[in-house]
Structure 1
């Protein structure tokens, strides 16, 4: 019988001192509880998403020193933990000192073994090959098969030898690689236990897949598998990731027999009979993480941790009477308390009494601080100043005046609200102001640069519009237990209210038709094999029902929205040009995005400002369809 401690800790990136202190406390507690083994996550000492901090040798020396402290603490317990391993006399492909993402196994105050990460992810937010030297590269250098280097670690506990298969995160997600570390461990066995230490960010639905994958591995090898992941918040600049923990234990039949609560720092214990493969323990049910509950948990946890990390405890939110700002207000009020939230309504002549009343009702329901600061006078002043001040051609002496179109005036209003009022109010209030943009708007740049796309964090910018509505209902029902977000806001047509053409009282709203465009935009950027207009038009030409099935939108919707192919194609090209054109420039300058989906804007969705492009097959197919029409 092994008593195993699962050290699901909150890892603070860039603070090896704090992380090590926490580990030493957990080690002391586990030793006091007479645990045989304690397991910590991948990169538990330095953190994982550190950018080019990995290029600082002084930082590496600190991580190494703190690693020695953890090893020294293994006098009465076996410790498995993640840290950077530095080979000071060798260099990596970049010419800098060689670094490995490594798993350390310590016992009796000494380092027993070290295992190097075999598979380095180089997709989404991951950039391991930029900094670390993998076991695959090492095998090539040594002229050996990489599988021969993937060996179990032998430890002695209570006069019995145990064989541990220690791997790191991606080594367990090996379906698309030419190397299978799990199979190699089994071949080089025997094995008593597989340990996967991870630093794996939350993605909606990821744990459901992880349970299927790791369960299969335990079942195929006939060996129990322990997965230990960290909690906390890490970022790579433009994208902020939550880490949910959700450490899990699988028996030799692949059944889940224990797990740690997600988004909670825990030191949990498990008594595991290796002889039975854990089959004597009753299987448990784990939460489905592809739910609105998981989504709320990740966003609330991420926003709270982000505020803590930047030392902000007061927030200003521009509330328009619309759904996005209402959800932001309810979310932040639940995190910081309503007394620390200042809601600001900034109407112009284009704002209806309906939305002004709804903004006030929302503020009253939440109990937040509230103020009304109209922008009509200042926006008009800016427009008049631009249109009445002459512009001189210094070569000819000729003067002209600029014209402020209705579209330009819309943007003047949006910038006046954010760059002038909200920024100034936030400074006076001693806080920051939010960016309330959703993912649909961010996709096509339906926002004003330095206006409503400004703020300290884009908390909702990885949520499609329909998810924002889901979150609104969840906040009312499950978080507050009452209607804090008025139902009228949920039912109201979404609108920027920056002109009379966007009058909500007349049912006029955003040009984005969210029940369709949410899913079209998702296909553009979130599908693993990202769709282009060629794919969309091909599916449409086969049958609109085929396209609806591919996108996942409501059946019959496309035929109701578009009278014929010409209207469909015009709409498709309009949004594709925006998505790959001006919206890219706006996204590059947008606030950091809190990531929860399978692909978020920022470092997770790397873009170049190259402009729109339509493939040759698309142009050919378009010509054929329109000619036939």
Structure 2
């Protein structure tokens, strides 16, 4: 019997001193519990998403130095941990010093070399170069090393042998992506299991949370354990990490699977702790139910944890939120009040002449329900002053000395309102009280740029910008029913038509609102962004012509006929949003605040895009011509 501790620690990216301090504390606890092996996550010393910090020689040396502290702590306990490894005599393909994403095994003050490895550590084999990952930019893979040495992976990929209490164990150690091999030409686990008799598989990971991802992991890893008839230990870290524009939560959810693929031990999500289990003995375990990770409670947990951790990291204790009487700002208010306490939240309603008594009343009701600080700062006087100032400004074309007056359109007046609210009031109030102000945009608005640059697009964090509108509504219900257990977000806010209230054409009392028809457009836009094979107008128009569009994008049946009387109407709508999505909205997203990711494709570094403008394929144009006929 071997007593194993899988240690789910909070990894602070770029702070090896803090991480090693936490690891040493976990090791001391494990020793007091007579543990044989303690396992830490991937890159637990440096952190994982570090950007070009990986190019700092001094930082690399520091991480290796802290790694020596962990090796020295391995007296009477076997320690498996992740860190950077450096071969100072070789170069990566970018000409910089060669670095490996490595798994180290230390015991009694020494490193244990994998059986056939040229180095004293396990090297990551498969590199994720999708979504937020950019491993090949910084690291050299085991596959590349094998090619360089003119070896097959079979000749170099080998287990770590460690003698525990006189019992020699063959440990199949892999790193994160090496366990997600479905889309690769080979599977490291298969190579290990086919060539060696292993006692257990160990996967150390730095795996960010994605909605529904853990359900897939349970299926994949349970199958690997069952197919190979050996237990599998998955160890993940908690914390938040970022690549500048996108912030990711790491939920941990470390899990042990027995040889039948049953879950026999887990760590709770987002909680740092040592968890213990005895393996390779005669102990019998009651299989645990598969945790469910695909409902709004998981989204709430990720948002709450991520925002709270982000605020702590940037040392922000007070938050300003502009509230309009709409659902997005209401959910943001309830969420931040839950995280920081109502006394640290200031809600500001900024009405113009277009804001109805209905939404002004709902804003007041929300603030009182939450018990937050509340202020009303009307903007109409300043907006009128700005418009008058512009319209009385002469523009002289110096080449001809012609003088022209500025014409302020209705659309520009809408933007002036939005910018006055954010750039003047919210920014000024935040600075005055020593806090920051939020961006309350949802993902549908972010997709098509339905926001004002330097206006409601601004803020220190876009906490809801990876949630579609229907998820914002789900979160509103969840906050009322399960977190506050009372109606803090008024039902009137949930029921009212979504509207920016920037003109008389957006009169909520008359049922007028946003041009985005969320029950349909949420799903259309999601197809543009989150589909693994990105959907384009060509796909959408083909499905429309085949009458299978709603089935493909997942929206409610009947919505296409409800919103679009003719093919011309449908195509006009499709091209309107596609032009924005691939046009001006890209520029807005580039300048937008960082987004907290929860989906399988978040804006920022996750969804990488260029400002190339809209494009329509030849097949799309042909199908469009066929559908429109003489109406083209």
Q: Quickly name the TM-score band, shorter chain normalised.
A: over 0.9
SS of equivalent to 2:112: strand
1:297 aligned residue:
301
Q: Cα deviations across residues 423-447 of structure 1 (Å, max 9, x unaligned)?
A: 0000001100000000000000000
User: After superposition, what is the alpha-carbon deviation per residue over 1:356-389, rounded to whole angstroms, capped at 9, x for unaligned?
Assistant: 0000000000000000000101111111111111
Residue of 126, 136, 140 corresponding to 2:143? 136
Q: Is the 8 A contact 1:150 1:188 kept in 2?
A: no
State the secondary structure of the residue aligned to 1:626: helix
What displacement does 1:318 show? 0.1
The 5 A counterparts of 1:274-289 are 274-275=280-281, 280-289=284-293
1:122 aligned onto 2:129? yes
Asked if 1:519 corresponds to 2:523, the answer is: yes
Q: For the aligned residues, what is the CA RMSD? A: 0.9
Cα distance, 1:395 vs. partner?
Answer: 2.5
1:265 and 1:339 mapped to 2: Cα distance?
28
- 1:48 is matched with 48
CA distance in 2, matches of 1:617, 1:275: 63
Residue 10 (structure 1) shift:
0.6
Q: 1:202 aligns with which of 188, 199, 209?
A: 209
Task: Indicate yes or no: 2:311 matched with 1:310.
Answer: no
Instruction: Indicate the SS of the match to 1:102.
Output: strand
Report the count of equivalent residues: 624
Match of 1:382 in 2: 386
Matches within 5 A, 1:155-234: 155-234=162-241
Secondary structure at 1:80's aligned position in 2? strand
Q: Distance in 2 between matches of 1:268 and 1:378?
A: 59
Which residue in 2 is equivalent to 1:101? 101
- For the 8 Å contact 1:462–1:595, the answer to whether it is kept is yes
- Equivalent residue for 2:564, pick from 562, 572, 584: 562
Following TM superposition, where does structure 1 have runs of at least 4 consecutive aligned residues deviating by more than 4 angstroms?
Answer: none
State the Cα distance separating 1:627 from its structure 2 match.
1.3
| Whole-angstrom CA distance in 1 between matches of 2:224 and 2:166 | 29
TM-score with structure 2 setting the length: 0.98
Q: Which of residues 588, 591, 594 is equivalent to 2:590?
A: 588
Structure-to-structure mapping, 1:60-459, within 5 angstroms: 60-113=60-113, 114-272=121-279, 274-275=280-281, 280-459=284-463
The answer (yes or no) to whether the contact 2:41–2:206 under 8 Å persists in 1 is: yes
The C-alpha deviation readout for 1:310-336, integer Å capped at 9, x for no partner, is 000100000000000000000000000
Q: Which whole-Å CA distance do the structure 2 matches of 1:88 and 1:367 have between them?
A: 58
Deviation at 1:390, TM superposition (A): 0.6
CA distance in 2, matches of 1:585, 1:147: 48
Once residues 265 and 495 of structure 2 are traced to their aligned partners in structure 1, the CA distance between those partners, rounded to angstroms, is 42
Contact 2:2 2:281 in 1 (8 A): no
What runs of 5+ residues in structure 1 fail to find an aligned partner? none
- 2:23 matched to which residue of 1? 23
Contact (CA 8 Å) 2:218, 2:290: kept in 1 or not?
no
* Pairwise CA distance, 1:561: 1.2
Task: Report if the CA contact (8 A) 1:148-1:184 is conserved.
Answer: no
Q: Distance in 2 between matches of 1:47 and 1:441?
A: 33
* CA deviation after TM superposition for structure 1 residue 78, in Å: 0.3
Q: Secondary structure at the match of 1:576?
A: helix
Give the equivalent residue in structure 1 for 2:2.
2
Query: 1:38 Cα shift?
Result: 0.5
Please give the secondary structure, in 1, of the residue aligned with 2:602: coil
CA distance in 1, matches of 2:502, 2:190: 60
Is 1:473 paired with 2:480?
Answer: no
- How many Å separate the matches in 1 of 2:232 and 2:150? 31
Q: Separation in 2 of the partners of 1:628 and 1:528?
A: 36
1:383 and 1:135 map into 2 onto residues whose CA distance is 63
Distance 1:616 1:423 in 2: 47
Change (3 A) 1:628 1:555: farther
Q: Distance in 1 between matches of 2:479 and 2:628?
A: 47
Gaps of 5+ in 2: 114-120
| Corresponding residue of 2:117 | none
1: CA distance, partners of 2:84 / 2:177:
16
Name the SS of the counterpart of 2:46 in structure 1. Answer: coil
Structure 1 residue 15, shift from structure 2 partner? 0.2
SS in 2 for 1:167: strand
Name which of structure 1's ranges 552-561 and 587-596 shifts more when overlaid on structure 2: 552-561
CA distance in 1, matches of 2:582, 2:401: 40
Report how far residue 2 of structure 1 moved: 1.1
Displacement after TM superposition at 1:515 (Å): 0.2
Please name the residue that 2:118 is paired with.
Answer: none
Query: Hey, what does 1:627 align to over in structure 2?
Result: 629
Q: Report deviation, 1:542.
A: 0.8
Aligned match of 2:609? 607
CA distance in 1, matches of 2:391, 2:267: 62
Q: Secondary structure at the match of 1:460?
A: coil
CA offsets, 1:133-179, max 9 Å, x none? 00010000000001321111110111111110000000000011112
Instruction: Give 3-state SS (helix, strand or coil) of 1:306's partner.
Output: helix
Instruction: State how far apart, in whole Å, the 2-side matches of 1:42 and 1:581 are.
Output: 39
Match of 2:486 in 1: 482
Distance 2:205 2:552 in 1: 33
Whether contact under 8 Å (1:147, 1:179) holds in the other structure is: no
TM-score by length of 1: 0.98
- Quote the Cα distance in structure 1 between the aligned partners of 2:517 and 2:324: 20
Distance in 1 between the 2:486 and 2:73 partners? 50
Distance 2:439 2:551 in 1: 33
Q: Secondary structure at the match of 1:74?
A: coil
